[in-house]
Structure 1
Amino acid sequence: MAFMTRRYKRTMIYTDARFAGVPILGNLPQVPLTHSWLKFKQWADQYGPLYSLSLAGNRHVVVSTEKIANDLLRGRGNIYSSRPHLPMSCELLSHNLRPVLLPYNDLWRKGRKLMHSLASESAAPAYEPVQMRESFRLLKDLLADPNNYETWFERFSAGLVLQLAYGKTVETGDEPIVRDILEVVHTLERVISPGAYLVDTFPILMWLPKWLAPFKREADGLHQRELSLFRKNIDDVRAEIANGDQTPSFCRSWLEKEHSFGLNTDEAAYAIGTMFEAGAGTTAAALMSFMLSMVHHPEWQRRLQQELDAVVGNSRLPDFDDMPRLPTVRAIVKETLRWRPVTAGGVPHQLIKDDVYEGVFLPAGTSIHANQWAIHRDAALYPDAENFRPERWLEPCWPTYREPLTQFPNLQNFSAFGFGRRICPGQAIAERSLNIAAARVGWGCTVSKLKGVEVPLYDYTTGLNVQPNKFRFNLEARGTHVLKVLGDKAKDSGGSNGA
């Protein structure tokens, strides 16, 4: 392991020979296969917020504070916005079509232009009616069957993004298209996970013929499955338009202005499919962590409910017009993402040109890891970082406080969504989804620990994006008024629309 000094030369200066690693593999044996961000945070505590690793000859730099991440990935985004090439996920699985994995090139810029036009802050309010409807269904089903909360959160996020991306309505969450596309999402998360495939560490294995490389045969099948699905979704929308259907969607918007974006069908299919990937699993995971936080912190659940009672009352559901007067809702959502980030290890950037930062030389080709777990625990910015403290966003004595509280806290450019030119393009939509879901669940439900049942603070799945493993809790309607409002709303909307 290389620990950087304030001086630099054309090569790194190593200051701790004990962590030089082993021949060929370097520091690779020291990096855990799962939840590596926890170990990276330990090393940051010991050696400082900027240090380097040699992983099988490849240089990796781990960034552990928001200031350094912003200085490099945002302030110098013209040279820090590429991606490391991971043969299994980039080339074999995605055939260099998936925008989140593309280098900083023209194809990435074209895909980004499409995604920005569909999901920007100015476009996001148009999708609020869909979010209102899906959050109504979420609350109704959560109250009816709380034990299946994972299903309801996944249906909320998947149903929402399927409606936005392709104009497809999800009723049960068990439809083939939902199962198929969630399988694509989970496959990507598995394939891209650090250490999942040896070829990502030793790219020379790409020279193996297919009959000697089972990972190539596996990737062929996975690629054909996801490409066929993405193509079919676009073909379905084309057919619906030809039949006079007027349902708006991301896909329809692209088809209507196809030539202005400069993307062929497969490139656009992956760009739109990626927006589903980015929104479906991450939103559901964040809401599961929200439930975990409410189980462990009933005092904040009470504050949330008190605010909702004062602003909304008990005769209607919260809506987007209430959000400026619900700073506690927004603070709890933001603190959940800080306390339990979904992409805890971040997605690495790649430096494309030699650079020097505060006396540290960083060579071109270095992979830069903004370790969100450590960044969200920077004591200077987040005092008492290990604990769930939404007041850090609400009270002037905390470094993260901003006003007016009708606007702040919000999730715009929050580090949980990445940094610089690679920041999540759908963050404005995600913010609205999380806020309305948290507000409605808080308005309608009380969650609590089951007597005699321990709920771990950190028992999370493995992979690039993580969520709490299923835990048990008690959930009840806050009163008969909740069931009455839900029943009346269902009647008014024909049984499903809660907008």
Structure 2
Amino acid sequence: MAFSSLLLVVAAAFVLGLVAISSSKRTQPKEGSRYPPGPPGKPLVGNLPDIPPKHSWLKFKEWSDQYGPIMRLNIAGRQHYVASTEKVANDLLRERGGIYSSREQLPAAVQLLSRCLRPLFWPYNDTWRDGRKLMHQVSNSTIVGNYQPTQILESARMLRDLIKDPANYEHWFERYSAGIIFRLAFGKFLQTGHEQSVHDVINVVHTVERVASPGAYLVDTFPSMLNLPQAIAPFKRELTWLHDRELKLFRKLLNDVKDEMRAGTAPECWEKDYLERKAEFPHLTEDEAAYVVGTLFEAGAGTTAAAMMSFMLAMVLHTEWFTKLQKEIDSVCGSDRLPTLDDTPRLPTMRAVVKEVLRWHPVTAGGVPHYSIKDDVYNGLFIPAGTNIHANQWAIHREPGLYPDPETFKPERWLEPSYPTYREPLTTYPNLHNYSAFGFGRRICPGQNIAERSLYLLTARIAWACDVKKARKDGVQVDPPLYDYTSGFNVQPKWFAFDLKARSDERVRVLENEIEKNERQDPLKGRV
């Protein structure tokens, strides 16, 4: 046997031996409680072979239909519970947030890639609280109104390029969302979206999504592999290199702002805000703060673009709702001006469409699991400390009692009193405030206020400026796939064809005039 093969055999035996030991140390339920039901597993590996490597939330939904709203999985000795209704998710993750607001310290994404610097994976401690305080400081509902000029300009630029080149819609949506966050976070203007700094940050986003995806690295299933010699653990070398790359990037973005502050030329941005108020965050190192701002980019740029891609898919498949959007927006704005965020209270159909898109095809369909820090009992079910709690958004948003006919795209569920999700007044509801699509409890997405406004504005402007319909091939309409989505914990529809054109030359002129006016007043133009 070759030496490399012998090493692999020894490593496998070592890992399986430790799995067998850890699997035998299962905590016994407290008196009067029991473990939740769940699919039967196999010796040593539990349910691991039954979980698909892609879109695991679909399998979780299938199991929840069989085993109930909270079920238990055993993944090679690690406890995983899946919550499949909004009530269970809120009862645990919000109402008992003191127990369920931490994260498991997974070897690949947390320890090796992030070196415990990424707030998404921080345990529930003082560092997390300072990081959350900084995030809230720059994204709370009071301050986000100051960001409207940025969102207005970037949405208009995106709309112009989408009309000129609709087949490249993925790039335009990504530049829109990235352009907003780059301005707000780092004080930089994106001209094309192909700038090296943008590529670098987006590569970091895609890397963390890949590395943190369930099953991406065997070391997450078998943490004892961290003890393997580096000679037979190439994942260590890879993840160390990826960490060094992202740390260098985040440090550079922060140091650029430092240099500009010393020169007296720094624009207002989140990095500058942190540096001026650094003493307010005693538990954050500069590297941790750089990751806080970088994480806001990770959270905002990719998810907003993905949601807009799902919006386009929904409108191509359900053109009747795009027509309703156009009629509502025309009644408010006419043809001589673009919608602004000030129009939002008078656009309930637009808000309902956005909310239904996020329900129908959620961006974080499987959710990022929370982690329990002490034993608990919920409705007679025992939840031991050290359990991963998955809020399966795919199942939560398909709960028939809350969302009748859940598989159907139905924005009317937010607009008509006959539906359980209807609320009044329609000048306020529907909205995305604390919506389950953004997560639960103390780990809810910190950028939801910015994302909500970015989605509303761009959705309204696309309907105002464009006509959208299914593509045609050889004279026949082409139906895009209903759910052909990328893998990862943030997902988006794979590229699909559709036809898009401007509604009129007059509207294009109005759009160009707005861009010209706002670009003349833009203080950041040229600051790449």
- TM-score normalised per structure 2: 0.91
Q: Deviations over 1:83-106 (max 9, x none)?
A: 112110000000101011111111
Task: Give the alignment partner of residue 480 of structure 2, picking from 438, 452, 455.
Answer: 455
**Equivalent position amino acid for 1:480 in 2:** D
Q: Percent identity?
A: 59
Task: Give the alignment partner of residue 229 of structure 1, picking from 249, 252, 255.
Answer: 249
Q: CA deviation at 1:495?
A: 6.8
Q: Using the TM superposition, name which of 115-124 and 457-466 deviates more.
A: 115-124
Using the alignment, how far apart are the partners of 1:107 and 1:15 within structure 2?
36
Q: Does 1:98 align with 2:123?
A: no
Task: Give the alignment partner of residue 438 of structure 1, picking from 435, 459, 464.
Answer: 459
Using the alignment, how far apart are the partners of 1:171 and 1:335 within structure 2?
32
**Equivalent position amino acid for 1:484 in 2:** R
Tell me the residue number matched to 1:160. Answer: 180
1:286-301 to 2 correspondences below 5 Å: 286-301=307-322
Contact 1:490/1:496 (<8 A) preserved:
no
Tell me the residue number matched to 1:3. Answer: none
Tell me the residue number matched to 2:440. Answer: 419
| Regions of 4+ moved over 3 Å | 7-16, 493-497
Cα RMSD after superposing both structures: 1.5
**Equivalent position amino acid for 1:304 in 2:** L
**Equivalent position amino acid for 1:463 in 2:** G
**Equivalent position amino acid for 1:416 in 2:** A
Tell me the residue number matched to 1:398. Answer: 419
Contact 2:338/2:464 (<8 A) preserved:
yes
Q: Secondary structure at the match of 1:195?
A: coil
Tell me the residue number matched to 2:493. Answer: 468
Contact 1:137/1:496 (<8 A) preserved:
no
Q: Secondary structure at the match of 1:446?
A: strand
Task: Give the alignment partner of residue 409 of structure 1, picking from 430, 433, 438.
Answer: 430
Using the alignment, how far apart are the partners of 1:33 and 1:9 within structure 2?
36
Q: Deviations over 1:157-207 (max 9, x none)?
A: 111111111111100000000000000000000000000000000000000
Contact 2:35/2:381 (<8 A) preserved:
no
Q: Does 1:478 align with 2:474?
A: no
Q: CA deviation at 1:211?
A: 2.2
Contact 2:467/2:503 (<8 A) preserved:
yes
Tell me the residue number matched to 1:326. Answer: 347
Contact 2:33/2:381 (<8 A) preserved:
no
Using the alignment, how far apart are the partners of 1:184 and 1:163 within structure 2?
18
Q: CA deviation at 1:298?
A: 0.7
**Equivalent position amino acid for 1:96 in 2:** C
Task: Give the alignment partner of residue 57 of structure 1, picking from 70, 77, 92.
Answer: 77
Tell me the residue number matched to 1:203. Answer: 223
Tell me the residue number matched to 1:4. Answer: none
Q: Using the TM superposition, name which of 450-459 and 271-280 deviates more.
A: 450-459
1:17-416 to 2 correspondences below 5 Å: 19-262=39-282, 263-416=284-437
Using the alignment, how far apart are the partners of 2:309 and 2:203 within structure 1?
19
Q: Using the TM superposition, name which of 115-124 and 55-64 deviates more.
A: 115-124
Contact 2:109/2:208 (<8 A) preserved:
yes
Q: Secondary structure at the match of 2:501?
A: strand
Structure 2's unaligned 5+ residue stretches are 1-28, 523-528
Contact 2:465/2:502 (<8 A) preserved:
yes
- TM-score normalised per structure 1: 0.96
Contact 1:327/1:409 (<8 A) preserved:
yes
Question: Rg: which structure is higher?
Answer: 2
Contact 2:35/2:382 (<8 A) preserved:
no
**Equivalent position amino acid for 2:241 in 1:** G
Q: Using the TM superposition, name which of 356-365 and 221-230 deviates more.
A: 356-365
The alpha-carbon distance between structure 1 residues 15 and 222, as it changes in their structure 2 partners (threshold 3 A), is closer
Q: Secondary structure at the match of 1:448?
A: strand
